[in-house]
Structure 1
Amino acid sequence: MAALTGSWRETIDFYVFMFFFAICALGGGTAFANVPSLLYVRPFAVLCLTAFLLTPRQIDWTAIRMPALLLAALILLMIVQLVPLPPGIWTALPGRSAYSGLAEIMGVDQPWRPLSLTPDLTMNALVSLIVPAAVIAGFAKMRQDQRQATVILLIVLCCASAAIGIIQFAGGKDSALYLYQRTYPGFPVGLLSNRNHQAVLLSLVFPALRVWTLMPAADRGWMRNRRWIALALGVMIVPVVLATGSRAGTALMVAGIAAAFLFFPDTRGEATALTGARRYLARAALPLLAALLIVLTFLFGRAASIERLVALSAIDNDQRFQFAPTVLRIIRETFPAGTGFGSFDPVFRQYEPDAILISSFFNHAHNELLELIIMAGLPGMLVLAAFLWWWGARIVAAWRTTTPATRTMRLGVVVTGTILLASLVDYTIRPPLIAAVFTLGCCWAAQRAYQRD
């Protein structure tokens, strides 16, 4: 692999980058803040970030300027939420009356308190940003060919998660390969603890495989073999996504397959073995094969996601819809100050009406847009608006022209867009592994349109 050639000064950052993603894969598959694996994921993130800053190669700031600035804005916002405020200012903030009254009941003076209602959880959210910071720093230190090779890294992650998921599915609910205590036993969750997160991760593999087949190859034979390998991997992953039981993941998988053929044309102008009608027939055969796999998986009773999709009761009993009025009420009563990053769970329990109490817990809004408004208020919306403005500009830049460099730009837009769509019905971006993949997608999208392969 060309990305691994060169002196240690030119390759050390790439090796550290791969090592860091391996650590995220092994212990960063859950969104819960109290899992033991974070005791090594976050320290290794600090070590890798330090290594990136100390290695000899200079940082290419032009490659990561906007992702770094947006991350810095998020960090600053969390720090501001931790700064103690005078009682006169704090008690005037919306949504604080229930807390300020406690001091009056106890007969003590109002203390200085931070904007965040849960400063410990906000500090945890701040510390969690060390993962995207390490990804951004590592990406900025690598050569251009090494950055393109990270496409293969995403493919390996997805295929490894799918393979582990297959073994979990075959082993049943008591499989020893479930990595987390809070998980979905009996479902192929792979490297993650949540079946929805697994389905979203696997849906990213289809455009990534397409980009991989379009990368330069040493000879025509390997280029042809690479296409067959990509087809085999895609065929393997389709039933795994269906078996997760994730409705949103299944829809995103279909969108990912469509994006792979619509957004990444072959512009190399090389002659192929198939011409004319045969070429169009071959292109049509791939989507038809995917459709056939979906039908067969459903007929054999392994497509849990389709079964949940057609079951109206699954939608009627979905907590996302049941609790939406309460979530909107929290927004009305705490906007524009917000309640602090990481505070959704305890704040929701304060507002949760007795009529919707259930034995399970609702620890996230399952809509990152609404949860961001709750936690960060108007400042969080401004940071999100800045990101969406930049992301839209990258879409225009990626589709303005078609060059080898724009393929990774488009892949970055597709990867981030897929995770953003999933975050409208879940908390997909919160596990460190998904956060690292999302940040990698942002770095791909930030690339310049005209760069040498």
Structure 2
Amino acid sequence: MIGWSLIALMAISLMFGGGGVGRGLTNLLVQLVALGILLFTPGALRHFVATAPKTLLILVGLTLALPLIQLLPLPAGLWQSLPGRDMAVESRELVGAGDDWFPITLDRARTLTAVLALIGPLAVLTAVFGRKLAQGRHILLLLVGLALANFLFGALQFATSSDALILYGSRSDGRFYGFFANHNSSGLLMVIGLCAMVGFYADKPRRATQSAAMAFVAMLLVIGVVLTNSRSSTALLLLPLAWIGWLILKELAKVEARKRWTIIGAGVLGIAAVGALVATNDRLGATWERYGDLEDSRPDIWEDTANGIDRYWPVGSGMGTFDEVFQVEESLETLVTGRAGRAHNEYLEIVLEAGIVGGLLVIGWGLYLLFATWRGLRSVHAPVTLAAAMASACIALQALLDLPLRNMALLCVAGLLVALLSAPLSTKRD
């Protein structure tokens, strides 16, 4: 088994960690549970340090060290010389603090929050790491369970007429949120769950009844993703659905010609039925209508973010500080009544906040996961690796348009995926 501590942490992160930085107390609950796992299972942390690939340890160490270094106080002559600190110097001089020691970050509270957010994925990594490759199927099943729980909770929200079960905000826009404040994150988790389910199925042959049950759950997850009205999550469905199509073609090749055409006919009827449901259901159809208008404020935000990157390059403004520093960069031509809050591009936001070091870390993680995927696809449990790689690719792709790793729930899911992809690198061949 994968351990009750891990199951409890993932369940708590889903129920209380989907609100983002604006939900400090619920995030703290997740972080305290994660910290408890790290403190009360010190052997797991020692085992992780002793057996993990050196590249992974370096990446984890640098990721943890980056915001901590940004919090270290610097003498006045040093922090004043950092790029983009002109306004900070002027404001601190006004209150007589111009010669005090200050850190690299322009908002210590936000950067400290970023440090604490890393406790969750670190606890997940240590809890999972070093287990047998065969147990990767159980982890995939855990991801399916999390996605299904999110769908069921969202369905319950839809079934009620009040906002009593809405954890964040209200149901005025009619979208499917589940345990998240962001409908894109809710859709992404269900896409990840679908990837995990396909990998679980492909890793070991299933009986007909099991296959039918998994097909039913997969259909629910697809419907849940469409109900979120998230264009990015709906587009990402193409990845697991393409894998499902490939598996179906492989199975059809083993069936007699007469039965094969019967199965194909049934499949076409099923697809037509789903298409008719989407076309006639207002809530399902609302997602497709959103594809008719792809214009939004993201390109303007990206342009202003690029100006901020140039201002603070190559040091950055400090992890978690985007919302504070972006107000200075937002151009009057694109100013709107609401606040951007985020860059809606994880990569641009990281480079703004962490400069060249943040960009290099992103590249380092990408190269490491690509190498881990290549090694894992050569193992006997290649479908587990492929499922984790596909789910990681979904996170990376949505990060181009949104902020998937800015909530505790998906951060912990990302930790699970890194552990799954790293397993073949730390498991000796027989």
Q: Normalization by structure 2: what TM-score?
A: 0.89
Aligned: 1:230 with 2:214:
yes
Q: Distance in 2 between matches of 1:248 and 1:56?
A: 36
Q: CA RMSD in A?
A: 3.1
* Long gaps (5+) in structure 2: none
Structure 1 residue aligned with 2:404 = 428
Q: Once the 2 structures are TM-superposed, how far is the Cα of residue 150 of structure 1 from its aligned partner?
A: 1.0
Q: Percent identity?
A: 25
Q: Which amino acid letter does the alignment assign opposite residue 287 of structure 2?
A: S
- Kept in 1: contact 2:45–2:126 (CA 8 A): no
Q: Once the 2 structures are TM-superposed, how far is the Cα of residue 130 of structure 1 from its aligned partner?
A: 0.3
- Kept in 2: contact 1:94–1:333 (CA 8 A): yes
Q: Distance in 2 between matches of 1:287 and 1:70?
A: 47
SS at match of 1:85: coil
Q: Which amino acid letter does the alignment assign opposite residue 307 of structure 1?
A: E
Q: Distance in 2 between matches of 1:376 and 1:56?
A: 27
Q: Once the 2 structures are TM-superposed, how far is the Cα of residue 397 of structure 1 from its aligned partner?
A: 2.4
* Long gaps (5+) in structure 1: 4-12
CA distance 1:452–1:183, shift in 2 (3 Å): farther
CA distance 1:213–1:108, shift in 2 (3 Å): closer
Q: Distance in 2 between matches of 1:260 and 1:438?
A: 23
Structure 2 residue aligned with 1:201 = 189
CA distance 1:451–1:274, shift in 2 (3 Å): farther
Q: Once the 2 structures are TM-superposed, how far is the Cα of residue 383 of structure 1 from its aligned partner?
A: 1.0
Structure 2 residue aligned with 1:440 = 416
1:110-125 → structure 2 map (5 Å cutoff)? 110-125=99-114
User: Deviation digits for residues 286-318 of structure 1, max 9, x if unmatched?
Assistant: 5874575245213322222211111x2xx33x2
SS at match of 2:424: coil
- Kept in 1: contact 2:44–2:126 (CA 8 A): no
Q: Distance in 2 between matches of 1:131 and 1:375?
A: 21
Aligned: 1:298 with 2:279:
yes
Q: Once the 2 structures are TM-superposed, how far is the Cα of residue 34 of structure 1 from its aligned partner?
A: 3.4
Structure 2 residue aligned with 1:188 = 176
CA distance 1:93–1:282, shift in 2 (3 Å): farther
Q: Once the 2 structures are TM-superposed, how far is the Cα of residue 411 of structure 1 from its aligned partner?
A: 1.5
Structure 2 residue aligned with 1:6 = none
User: Deviation digits for residues 89-131 of structure 1, max 9, x if unmatched?
Assistant: 2122111111112344556642221110111110110011000
Q: Distance in 1 between matches of 2:79 and 2:370?
A: 37
CA distance 1:434–1:200, shift in 2 (3 Å): same
Q: Distance in 2 between matches of 1:346 and 1:16?
A: 36
Q: Distance in 2 between matches of 1:183 and 1:390?
A: 40
Aligned: 1:177 with 2:165:
yes
Q: Once the 2 structures are TM-superposed, how far is the Cα of residue 279 of structure 1 from its aligned partner?
A: 4.8
User: Deviation digits for residues 181-202 of structure 1, max 9, x if unmatched?
Assistant: 4777532211212111111111
SS at match of 1:110: coil
Q: Once the 2 structures are TM-superposed, how far is the Cα of residue 451 of structure 1 from its aligned partner?
A: 7.6
Q: Distance in 2 between matches of 1:184 and 1:261?
A: 36
Q: Distance in 2 between matches of 1:56 and 1:438?
A: 18
Aligned: 1:96 with 2:81:
no
- Kept in 2: contact 1:202–1:253 (CA 8 A): no
Structure 2 residue aligned with 1:381 = 359
Q: Once the 2 structures are TM-superposed, how far is the Cα of residue 57 of structure 1 from its aligned partner?
A: 10
User: Deviation digits for residues 243-297 of structure 1, max 9, x if unmatched?
Assistant: 211110110112221134448997xxx9998345745874796587457524521
1:319-330 → structure 2 map (5 Å cutoff)? 319-330=297-308
**More RCO (CA 8 Å, sep 6+):** 2
Aligned length: 428
User: Deviation digits for residues 388-428 of structure 1, max 9, x if unmatched?
Assistant: 111221233244x3x53222111111111111111110001
Q: Which amino acid letter does the alignment assign opposite residue 384 of structure 2?
A: T
Structure 1 residue aligned with 2:384 = 408
